[in-house]
């Protein structure tokens, strides 16, 4: 049982001893204190019950607190109109810290009902390199996957790459003209991008070229062996290039079921939808319309134009017979539910696709997938220092790889100034770690729906709410063990807390489990990122106030345990953010 659960039991017993019947026991709650100055936990039960009992809430709170048998655990005080505040005693905190230190999983609790969760993230469009917009999906998706796995869910990470779009007509056209085989080997993504741009520029200038590109796509879709072979090489090369970036980011997938994987399922699916009256013909195309079941305001198949509600259908087959993004996504839900037994599917995708997902989710429900929980984990935009969406100097979307390289360059400057490492090699690998992970941490420390300004110098700085600050906190918590001359075998029984800063540190450590769970409940990695920053700050305050190596006996042993426990929570928490830690910096 957690402390709030134990306290709740004690409150219930106290009510019983006062012979007070509680109409709805579920409403008796002990929660984390909103303001730590007044205590660690609180309950508003006295205020809730007093009115019905015809009592003054404050007086009733006094009576009740006298009956709560928790002397060994906490002090109880009354605040405001009748809040019960519980302040845990130092020994109680020490007991919690000891249990956490002795537990392999740092007292992170497991969910009672594990689910199978498919996380759909990253999903760049192949043959166009991943741009910085994809960074949000890639990083948030990896983090959510790790956290959900940590608390006991079965997670399936699927990279639903865009590998079947019009871009292949263009790439194939340019490929046949002048592909640079050598560069394909060394810089696959860059060479594919060059081919794409060559064709795209040429098509803009010349209708004939545009037609030729389209013809290449049709040939591919009809199974022309030559075009198919080029497409397959494009895919293999793209995967190679993408994997180089994923390795750098510490991101991995269980599946790469791209759009093309569903090609054969699309025609029968559309037939079925039409047969089931879920879709119908409209101007030569096949579309899904509203089922008129709800208010138009909440209907994803309605749109308000000039004050009037009009149909806003989802097209699943174009008039030329081609299927599209939506058709593929419906087939993908089918596959994930039927083949993978998904209880939940999380789509980590830009907020601009919100309309598409509302229609997709509604369609899936109508198709009979009522049990599966479909969630659009949306995110906002990364901005440049001018407050507009981030662009390169040439006005293009910045390539993710370039962004990472720039971050490493910025980190190298900081490392050269501040690092204690000796060799240039060690410094370079630290700069790589700091650069890449600063970009990731900056992403994860913002609320996913907020737009944030991409400021390299700020994110690689040692001061502030940054990755380097956290990594440094970890290194500091470990370095003390290197300075110890003798080998120590710590014993949890020696944990004792006397100083305020020690208690505060333990209080923060104790929140770890809750914070991890909260990330999954709200699909919000920033809760964990912010928590780790707060933990690091609590650690620094403790470290400044309480000498460790200079103290003696049990005090020294106890403080060493606090350093050890802090370092483990920091490392584990950073790992959930997909951020590895250095041992020295």
Least CB distance from residue 136 to ligand ARG, whole Å?
A: 11
Contacts for 260 with CB less than 8 Å, ≥ 6 apart: 163, 164
Nearer to ligand ARG, 257 or 561 (CB): 257
Nearer to ligand ARG, 120 or 557 (CB): 120
Phi, psi of 94 (to 5 degrees): -60, -40
Is 123 a binding residue for ligand ARG by CB under 6 A? The answer is: yes
In this structure, are residues 253 and 158 in contact, taking their beta carbons and an 8 Å threshold? yes
Query: In angstroms, rounded to a whole number, what is the distance separating the alpha carbons of residues 520 and 235?
Result: 33
Query: In angstroms, rounded to a whole number, what is the distance separating the alpha carbons of residues 89 and 394?
Result: 61
Name the segment binding ligand ARG (CB under 6 A); options: 51-59, 103-111, 120-128, 272-280. 120-128
Is 140 a binding residue for ligand ARG by CB under 6 A? The answer is: no
Least CB distance from residue 333 to ligand ARG, whole Å?
A: 9
Query: In angstroms, rounded to a whole number, what is the distance separating the alpha carbons of residues 184 and 199?
Result: 17
Query: In angstroms, rounded to a whole number, what is the distance separating the alpha carbons of residues 281 and 42?
Result: 60
User: What is the DSSP secondary structure assignment for residue 448, as one 8-state letter?
Assistant: T
Nearer to ligand ARG, 128 or 507 (CB): 128
Is 125 a binding residue for ligand ARG by CB under 6 A? The answer is: yes
Is 329 a binding residue for ligand ARG by CB under 6 A? The answer is: yes
Nearer to ligand ARG, 88 or 249 (CB): 249
Is 159 a binding residue for ligand ARG by CB under 6 A? The answer is: no
In this structure, are residues 354 and 378 in contact, taking their beta carbons and an 8 Å threshold? yes
Nearer to ligand ARG, 126 or 434 (CB): 126
Least CB distance from residue 153 to ligand ARG, whole Å?
A: 20
Name the segment binding ligand ARG (CB under 6 A); options: 77-85, 118-126, 193-201, 206-214. 118-126
Nearer to ligand ARG, 131 or 568 (CB): 131
Contacts for 385 with CB less than 8 Å, ≥ 6 apart: 453, 454, 455
Least CB distance from residue 436 to ligand ARG, whole Å?
A: 22
Q: DSSP for 16-73?
A: HHTTPPPS-GGG---EE-SSGGG-SEEE-HHHHHHHHHT--HHHHHHHHHHH---TTT
Contacts for 200 with CB less than 8 Å, ≥ 6 apart: 170
Name the segment binding ligand ARG (CB under 6 A); options: 16-24, 119-127, 239-247, 523-531. 119-127
Is 162 a binding residue for ligand ARG by CB under 6 A? The answer is: yes
Query: In angstroms, rounded to a whole number, what is the distance separating the alpha carbons of residues 432 and 211?
Result: 45
Nearer to ligand ARG, 152 or 162 (CB): 162
Is 347 a binding residue for ligand ARG by CB under 6 A? The answer is: yes
Least CB distance from residue 347 to ligand ARG, whole Å?
A: 6
- Residue 260: how many other CB atoms lie within 10 Å: 17
Phi, psi of 58 (to 5 degrees): -65, -45
Least CB distance from residue 154 to ligand ARG, whole Å?
A: 20
Is 131 a binding residue for ligand ARG by CB under 6 A? The answer is: no
Name the segment binding ligand ARG (CB under 6 A); options: 121-129, 386-394, 422-430, 528-536. 121-129
State which of positions 57-86 bind ligand ARG (CB under 6 A): none
- Residue 162: how many other CB atoms lie within 10 Å: 17
Give the binding-site size for ligand ARG (rule: CB under 6 A): 10
Strands 452-453 and 382-383: parallel
Q: Which residue among 131, 150, 160, 568 contacts ligand ARG (CB under 6 A)?
A: 160
Q: Which residue among 7, 14, 120, 287 contacts ligand ARG (CB under 6 A)?
A: 120
Nearer to ligand ARG, 61 or 123 (CB): 123
Q: Is the dihedral of CA 533, 537, 538, 542 positive or negative?
A: positive
Is 349 a binding residue for ligand ARG by CB under 6 A? The answer is: yes
Least CB distance from residue 245 to ligand ARG, whole Å?
A: 15
Is 163 a binding residue for ligand ARG by CB under 6 A? The answer is: no
Give the relative orientation of helices 167-178 and 225-249 as an angle to the nearest 10 degrees: 100
Is 380 a binding residue for ligand ARG by CB under 6 A? The answer is: no
Nearer to ligand ARG, 246 or 441 (CB): 246
Strands 373-379 and 116-120: unpaired
Phi, psi of 583 (to 5 degrees): -85, -25
Q: Is the dihedral of CA 120, 125, 126, 130 positive or negative?
A: negative
Least CB distance from residue 400 to ligand ARG, whole Å?
A: 12
The edge-to-edge listing of strands for the beta sheet with 279-282 is: 279-282, 285-288, 314-317
Q: DSSP for 405-433?
A: HHHHHHHHHHHHHH----SHHHHHHHHHH
Nearer to ligand ARG, 200 or 567 (CB): 200
Name the segment binding ligand ARG (CB under 6 A); options: 51-59, 116-124, 239-247, 275-283. 116-124
State which of positions 189-248 bind ligand ARG (CB under 6 A): none
Between the alpha carbon of residue 521 and those of residues 146, 347, 354, 527, the distances in Å are: 14, 15, 20, 11
Least CB distance from residue 125 to ligand ARG, whole Å?
A: 5
Least CB distance from residue 547 to ligand ARG, whole Å?
A: 53
Least CB distance from residue 166 to ligand ARG, whole Å?
A: 13
Name the segment binding ligand ARG (CB under 6 A); options: 117-125, 422-430, 519-527, 552-560. 117-125
The residues that touch ligand ARG, with contacts defined as CB under 6 A, are: 120, 123-125, 160, 162, 329, 332, 347, 349
């Amino acid at each position: 049982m957690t402390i709030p659960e134990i306290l709740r039991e004690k409150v219930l017993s106290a009510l019983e001893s006062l012979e007070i019947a509680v109409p709805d026991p579920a409403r008796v709650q002990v929660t984390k204190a909103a303001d730590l100055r007044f205590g660690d936990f609180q309950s508003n039960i006295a205020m809730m019950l007093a009115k019905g009992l015809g009592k003054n809430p404050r007086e009733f709170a006094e009576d009740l607190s006298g009956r709560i048998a928790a002397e060994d655990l906490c002090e109880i005080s009354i605040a405001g109109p009748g809040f019960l505040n519980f302040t845990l005693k130092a020994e109680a905190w020490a007991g919690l810290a000891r249990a956490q230190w002795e537990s392999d999983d740092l007292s992170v609790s497991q969910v009672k009902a594990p689910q199978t969760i498919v996380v759909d993230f990253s999903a760049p469009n192949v043959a166009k390199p991943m741009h910085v917009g994809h960074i949000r999906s890639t990083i948030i998706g990896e983090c959510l996957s790790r956290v959900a796995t940590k608390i006991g869910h079965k997670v399936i990470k699927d990279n639903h790459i865009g590998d079947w779009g019009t871009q292949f007509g263009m790439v194939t056209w340019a490929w046949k003209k002048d592909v640079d085989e050598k560069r394909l080997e060394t810089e696959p993504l860059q060479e594919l991008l060059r081919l794409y741009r060559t064709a795209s520029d040429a098509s803009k200038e010349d209708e004939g070229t545009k037609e030729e590109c389209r013809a290449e796509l049709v040939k591919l879709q009809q199974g022309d062996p030559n075009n198919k072979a080029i497409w397959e090489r494009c895919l293999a090369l793209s995967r190679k290039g993408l994997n180089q970036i994923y390795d750098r980011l510490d991101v991995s997938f269980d599946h790469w079921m791209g759009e093309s994987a569903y090609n054969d399922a699309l025609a029968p699916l559309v037939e079925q939808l039409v047969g089931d009256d879920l879709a119908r013909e409209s101007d030569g195309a096949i579309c899904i319309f509203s089922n008129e079941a709800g208010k138009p305001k909440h209907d994803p198949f309605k749109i308000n134009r000039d004050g009037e509600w009009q149909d806003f259908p989802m097209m699943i087959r174009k008039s030329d017979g081609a299927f599209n993004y939506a058709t593929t996504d419906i087939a993908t839900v089918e596959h994930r539910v039927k083949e993978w037994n998904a209880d939940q599917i999380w789509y980590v995708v830009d907020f601009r696709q919100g309309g598409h997902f509302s229609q997709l989710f509604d369609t899936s429900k109508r198709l009979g997938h009522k049990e599966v929980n479909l969630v659009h984990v949306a995110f906002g935009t990364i901005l440049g220092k001018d407050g507009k969406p981030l662009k390169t100097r040439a006005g293009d979307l910045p390539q993710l790889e370039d962004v990472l390289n720039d971050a490493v360059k910025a980190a190298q400057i900081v490392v050269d100034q501040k690092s204690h490492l000796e060799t240039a090699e060690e410094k370079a690998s630290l700069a790589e770690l700091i650069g890449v992970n600063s970009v990731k941490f900056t992403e994860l420390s913002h609320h996913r729906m907020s737009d944030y300004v991409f400021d390299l110098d700020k994110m690689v700085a040692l001061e502030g709410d940054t990755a380097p600050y956290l990594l440094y906190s970890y290194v500091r918590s470990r370095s003390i063990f290197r300075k110890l001359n003798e080998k120590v075998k710590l014993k949890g029984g020696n944990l004792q807390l006397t100083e305020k800063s020690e208690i505060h540190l333990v209080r923060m450590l104790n929140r770890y489990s809750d914070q991890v769970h909260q990330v999954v409940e709200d699909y919000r990695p920033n809760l964990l990122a912010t928590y780790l920053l707060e933990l690091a700050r609590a650690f620094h305050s403790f470290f400044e106030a309480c000498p460790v190596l200079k103290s003696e006996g049990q005090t020294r042993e106890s403080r060493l345990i606090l350093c050890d426990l802090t370092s483990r929570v920091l490392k584990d928490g950073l790992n959930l953010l997909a951020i590895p830690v250095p041992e020295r910096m």
